[in-house]
Structure 1
Amino acid sequence: MPIWRYAMATLPPLALLLAGALWGGWWAALALLWLTLIAAGLDQLLTPPRQTTRHSDAADPLSVVLAVGHLSLLVLATRAFGDPTRSTGETITLLLASGSFLGQISHPNAHELIHRAPRALRRLGATVYVSMLFGHHVSAHRLVHHAHVGTPEDPNTPRPGESFWAFLPRAWIGSFRAGLAAERRRDARRRGVNPYVWYVSGSVFTTALALWIGGLAGLADFLALAALAHLQSLLSDYIQHYGLSRRRLPDGRWEPVAPHHSWNAPQGFTSYLMVNAPAHSDHHMHPDTPYDALTVPGGAPVLPWSMPIMAMLATTPRHWRRIMDKRAARAMEHAAPLNPRPANDPQT
């Protein structure tokens, strides 16, 4: 898939936000419009990413540009939040637009980076998460979520019928603890400092930097921005695994991860905007595959609407369950049996 489509979806809102943080005015409002109404409209006009396994050499550079742009945006936005000459409307618009960017682009991009093989890319992705005060997600996602997705052992897999608002604190606290426990188990087999030291100290440094750059007003808005990023990151986990679970094998192990254990949302524009994170089944089956080479496997469950729209629905539990519970039950019913009998078995 030509990487330029990902660039055309992700770079304009970044440029608009940087302009809004520097000069105020309507730039941030245009970025918010791009990330909401324009994205929803273009989803209806553009085709989803083609099914291909080819990886572009430009994919990693684009991820680096987005990560560096994210870090620059946090500095400039925090300074703007603390600027007393900015109007309340400008500040709120910049906060909401930046929060949307962090949730829809920075999070999936950092998620991509922490899965890449080069150590420099993994560290850059971790830096993005630490800058959002969400560093523990690096360990919890790679060591816990991918190993135990779809089971009660994964804090980031929703429980049957669980609302997002019940899932939110359980997943945040549970993933922090589970990631720390996983890293402590690794400590016995390696040398060096536990990465949680970096996550916590980095978050403290980032918070102090926000206070220095933007004062108390800048710090308050920066913390609100981080909260928006956490909210959207956990919404992604909730949406992409709701109602889908792995079954126990006769020997007591969990069945292997399969296409029906993740929801997918192959849309015409938001798939590019979210660096193909909505192709989630393939990612869980092949976590080292770069984003531009992910596909939606045959038989994988597909969400009725794009990820941003599903995120809005997930915040209203009654509507969410009415839309999703039956779909999730059908997805699990269509899963292959654990021990299918041969076609010539007389007991079939």
Structure 2
Amino acid sequence: MSSAASRPLPLSAFAAATLAPVPLLAMGSASGGLWLWAALAWLGLLSLLLDQLLPLVDADPVEGAEFPAADSLLVLLGLVALALPPLALAGATGSALTLPEKAALVFSTGLWLGQIAHPAAHELIHRSDRRLFRLGVLVYSWMLIGHHASSHRLVHHRHVATPADPASAPRGRGFWRYLPRAALGGFREGLRAETALRRRSAAPGLHPYLHHALASAAALSLAALIAGPPGIALWLLIAAHAQLQIHLSDYVQHYGLIRARLPDGRDEPVAARHSWNTAHWFSSALLLNAPRHSDHHSHPSRPYPALRLPEDAPRLPWPLPLAAAIALVPPLWHRLMRPHLARLTPPAPPPPPGDSTA
């Protein structure tokens, strides 16, 4: 692999990486064949291959640079995320595709939602424009995880890298042990945080969790209209696949990183060292710079093309999708991560002079 690239990713790279699989999935849902296998290769094998061949993207955008078209791409991706599940259901329950092609269509759709729609929705829920925010919430609700819009903003960003955050995995906890607490704890803590906000509001309106539930109910109703009970089952399967990737992303990006407790009992401020990062070219484009995770926690409203890579931010040795795949095998994950975590742990201070204890 060549050395680091001298320029940050242009917006065209984000658009090409995220949108290229969409026509492949659309054509594949109608006629199957090579279209589906090409989409699957783009979202899986091609990412792993290109990340090894292309230079790392260490360069940062100019501080204060603006990207006026960045939100337009997010809106387009959000709308695609709403259209792809019904399209996949139509193809997977029709008669034009073989059983392997139907499986590839369902799996590829879940990959696109988890790898691309999730980062897009994540960006949207951090926007101050209420229309963009609502689109992000709708995308998450379409994937039957609308509460993530609440738990991520109100719980994860506040308590990241502490035991109070269900999305932060302590060192030594495997992904499959982490998953139930992350899923159930995220729902519960997000509900608690939204309810607390409502108590302090003079005009609280409808509870956000009710909005999430209504949107998810609309998604499942649409699934039933398209294909009856099999449609509901397939939508649940696609959503579960996307949710698994959301939790994998949280697991990998904060695994084993802990904020220190200050003498006054508070947690230290969030710093670059509390998130894992990567600088691989293709997966950075595919995931809308989500691998530059430390800067996102420092500047949640900063648009994704402007995210920076702090020098003191810990880096994973693999692209984020590959790290997530490794995390599915906890013994392998722990063995491979152990030396990288050890390098982040400061050595114990030497004993004071005259102290004879070992």
Q: TM-score, normalised by structure 2?
A: 0.91
Q: What residue is the counterpart of 1:39 in the other structure?
A: 47
Indicate whether 1:78 and 2:86 are aligned. no
Q: Tell me if the contact between 1:78 and 1:214 (Cα under 8 Å) persists in the aligned partners.
A: yes
Give the C-alpha shift of residue 299 in structure 1.
1.1
Give the C-alpha shift of residue 207 in structure 1.
1.1
Indicate whether 1:309 and 2:322 are aligned. yes
Return the alpha-carbon distance in structure 2 between the equivalents of residues 61 and 48 of structure 1.
26
1:51 alignment partner, one of 53, 60, 73: 60
Indicate whether 1:268 and 2:281 are aligned. yes
Q: Deviations over 1:165-184 (max 9, x none)?
A: 01011100000000000000
Q: What residue is the counterpart of 1:13 in the other structure?
A: 21
Q: What residue is the counterpart of 1:124 in the other structure?
A: 135
Q: Secondary structure at the match of 1:227?
A: helix
Q: Deviations over 1:58-89 (max 9, x none)?
A: 11111111111111111211121221442101
Q: Which residue type is aligned with residue 292 of structure 2?
A: A
Return the alpha-carbon distance in structure 1 between the equivalents of residues 12 and 224 of structure 2.
37
Q: What residue is the counterpart of 2:210 in the other structure?
A: 197
1:210 alignment partner, one of 223, 227, 231: 223
Q: What residue is the counterpart of 1:154 in the other structure?
A: 165
Q: Which residue type is aligned with residue 47 of structure 2?
A: A
Return the alpha-carbon distance in structure 1 between the equivalents of residues 152 and 284 of structure 2.
21
Q: Tell me if the contact between 1:47 and 1:268 (Cα under 8 Å) persists in the aligned partners.
A: yes
Return the alpha-carbon distance in structure 2 between the equivalents of residues 15 and 67 of structure 1.
15
Q: Which residue type is aligned with residue 15 of structure 1?
A: P
Return the alpha-carbon distance in structure 1 between the equivalents of residues 148 and 71 of structure 2.
21
Return the alpha-carbon distance in structure 1 between the equivalents of residues 258 and 304 of structure 2.
24
For structure 1, which segment, 1-10 or 133-142, has the greater mean C-alpha deviation from structure 2 after superposition?
1-10
**Alignment RMSD (CA, Å):** 1.4
Give the C-alpha shift of residue 224 in structure 1.
0.8
Indicate whether 1:251 and 2:259 are aligned. no
Give the C-alpha shift of residue 47 in structure 1.
3.1
Return the alpha-carbon distance in structure 2 between the equivalents of residues 23 and 64 of structure 1.
27
Indicate whether 1:105 and 2:116 are aligned. yes
Give the C-alpha shift of residue 193 in structure 1.
1.0
For structure 1, which segment, 280-289 or 320-329, has the greater mean C-alpha deviation from structure 2 after superposition?
320-329
What 5-or-longer segments of structure 1 have no aligned partner?
Answer: 338-348
Indicate whether 1:95 and 2:106 are aligned. yes
Q: What residue is the counterpart of 1:30 in the other structure?
A: 38
Indicate whether 1:2 and 2:10 are aligned. yes
Q: Secondary structure at the match of 1:44?
A: helix
Give the C-alpha shift of residue 221 in structure 1.
1.7
Q: TM-score, normalised by structure 1?
A: 0.93
Return the alpha-carbon distance in structure 1 between the equivalents of residues 129 and 244 of structure 2.
29
Q: Deviations over 1:200-238 (max 9, x none)?
A: 122122112111112222222211110100100000000
Q: Which residue type is aligned with residue 51 of structure 1?
A: D
Give the C-alpha shift of residue 55 in structure 1.
2.9
Indicate whether 1:163 and 2:174 are aligned. yes
Indicate whether 1:240 and 2:253 are aligned. yes
Q: Tell me if the contact between 2:31 and 2:96 (Cα under 8 Å) persists in the aligned partners.
A: no
State the 4+ residue runs in structure 1 displaced beyond 6 angstroms.
none
What 5-or-longer segments of structure 2 have no aligned partner?
Answer: 1-8, 350-358
Return the alpha-carbon distance in structure 2 between the equivalents of residues 32 and 184 of structure 1.
41
Q: Tell me if the contact between 2:32 and 2:96 (Cα under 8 Å) persists in the aligned partners.
A: no
Return the alpha-carbon distance in structure 2 between the equivalents of residues 211 and 81 of structure 1.
14
Q: Secondary structure at the match of 1:304?
A: coil
Q: Tell me if the contact between 1:156 and 1:237 (Cα under 8 Å) persists in the aligned partners.
A: yes
Number of equivalences? 335
For structure 1, which segment, 47-56 or 299-308, has the greater mean C-alpha deviation from structure 2 after superposition?
47-56
CA 1:300–1:37: 2 relative to 1, 3 Å: same
Give the C-alpha shift of residue 333 in structure 1.
2.3
1:321 alignment partner, one of 327, 331, 334: 334
Q: Secondary structure at the match of 1:62?
A: helix
Return the alpha-carbon distance in structure 2 between the equivalents of residues 124 and 32 of structure 1.
26
Q: Secondary structure at the match of 2:215?
A: helix
Q: Tell me if the contact between 2:31 and 2:97 (Cα under 8 Å) persists in the aligned partners.
A: no
Q: What residue is the counterpart of 2:354 in the other structure?
A: none
Q: Which residue type is aligned with residue 297 of structure 1?
A: P
Return the alpha-carbon distance in structure 1 between the equivalents of residues 96 and 145 of structure 2.
31
